[in-house]
Amino acid sequence: MSTSTLRIATRNSPLALWQAHHVGGLLRLADPGLTIEYVDTATFADKRLDLPISELGGKGAFSKEIQALVLNGSADLAVHSAKDLQAVTPDGLTIAAFPERGDQRDVLVGARLEDLADGDVVATGSNRRRVQLAHARPGLVYAGLRGNIATRLSKSGDFAAIVMAAAALERLDLDVPVVDVLSPEVMVPQVGQGSLAVECLSNAPDIVERLADIDHLETRALVTAERGFLVELGGDCDLPAGAHARLEGGRITLTAVLASADESVLARTEIVGDSSQANPEALGAAAARDLRSQVETGA
């Protein structure tokens, strides 16, 4: 493929920039003659840390302005945390690559779960995390927390513990006190957590072809199954739901949770399907229907 330049749109937080440069590095490994430029910006959601994500548009709050840079021609592709993407890809765009996934799990920073006492305050801006912890450990108290990784870590001393994504700490190579990695049996991750999603114009075959070089097929299958769960739910960022797909022996196992509106019921399911199926999102959709039924019946 001939030498050319690709412009990558990204948020300007340290983690987002790491992710964009990681994708740029992968593309240059595939084509050493490629020139990469970065188009970074702070989204409205990055600036309004006083508001919960649910008031900022929920799913897509961190991605819509980055997607707009591709749609208006200011950039050739966009790099996102897959967990920040809307359930349905906007018209005109396609997710052309899911690079190999990082750690999907959540972590507690500041204390181990088993060491927390009734009345201890745990901070998180995620309803998914809060509801699962509340069911696992009744008696804890919760506070909201938003901001980039450094901002949240700087406030960690104000609480007994804060909840973060393992992949974020690993990617920024941060050494933090008392990290308790929460297994998916304790805390089912967010859809797409630990994965990057690279979008470009759907009518840009040359860029789609380049991005195919960094598309990790196993990651694509697993994240697609998880996103199928979110699509079936009509999911938003503040929905108390999570999904975790893994590949075992050629089969995808999808574990998912969904809380009732009053959060009194936390339903859990596990669906297994053949990884070779043409539409892994059907697996996620089946899990969503099962959980919705459980929640409606109070099971």
* DSSP string for 17-85: HHHHHHHHHHHHHH-TT-EEEEEEE--HHHH-TTS-GGGGTSTTTTTHHHHHHHHTTS-SEEEEEGGGS
pLDDT of residue 177: 78
Whether 249 shows a pLDDT value over 90: the answer reads: no
Beta bridge partners of 181: 107
**pLDDT at residue 53 greater than cutoff 60:** no
Q: What is the tens place of the pLDDT at every residue in 66-113?
A: 999 999 999 999 999 999 898 889 999 999 999 999 999 999 999 999
Catalytic residue among 46, 50, 76, 84: 84
Task: Specify the CATH superfamily of domain 106-182.
Answer: Periplasmic binding protein-like II (3.40.190.10)
84 is catalytic: yes
CATH of domain 216-299: 3.30.160.40
Q: Mean pLDDT throughout 39-59?
A: 58
**Confidence grade of residue 3 (pLDDT, cut at 50, 70, 90):** very low
Please name the amino acid found at residue 238: D
**How far, rounded to the nearest angstrom, does the alpha carbon of residue 21 sit from its chain's CA centroid?**
18
In the chain, CATH 3.30.160.40 sits at: 216-299
Q: Which structure tokens are listed for 78?
A: 């966009």
Closest-CA residue to 212 (of 21, 1, 64): 1
Provide mean pLDDT across the span 28-46: 85
Residue 251 corresponds to which tokens in the numbers above? Answer: 């089969």
Question: Which sign, positive or negative, has the C-alpha torsion 227, 230, 235, 237?
Answer: negative
Task: State the pLDDT at residue 50.
Answer: 46
Pair of tokens at residue 260:
């009732």
Considering only CA atoms, give the Rg of the chain.
19
pLDDT at 284 over 90: yes
Q: What is the DSSP string of 240-283?
A: SEEEEEEEETTEEEEEEEEE-TTSS-EEEEEEEEETTSS-THHH
Identify the band that residue 234 occupies on the pLDDT scale cut at 50, 70 and 90: confident
CATH architecture, domain defined by 1-99+195-215: 3-Layer(aba) Sandwich (3.40)
241-248 and 251-259 beta bridge pairing: antiparallel
Region of poorest pLDDT, from 54-58, 92-96, 222-226, 259-263: 54-58
* Token couple for 48: 């309004």
| Whether residue 55 has pLDDT greater than 60 | no
Higher-confidence position of 149 and 256: 256
CATH 3.40.190.10 domain position(s) in the chain:
1-99+195-215, 106-182
Q: How far does Cα 278 stand from its chain's mean position? A: 23
Question: What six digits make up the tokens of 18?
Answer: 């790491």
Q: Using the structure block, give the residue that is written with the tokens 């989204």.
A: 43
Global pTM value: 0.90
In the chain, the percentage of residues whose pLDDT exceeds 70 is: 89
Confidence of residue 29 (pLDDT cuts 50, 70, 90): very high
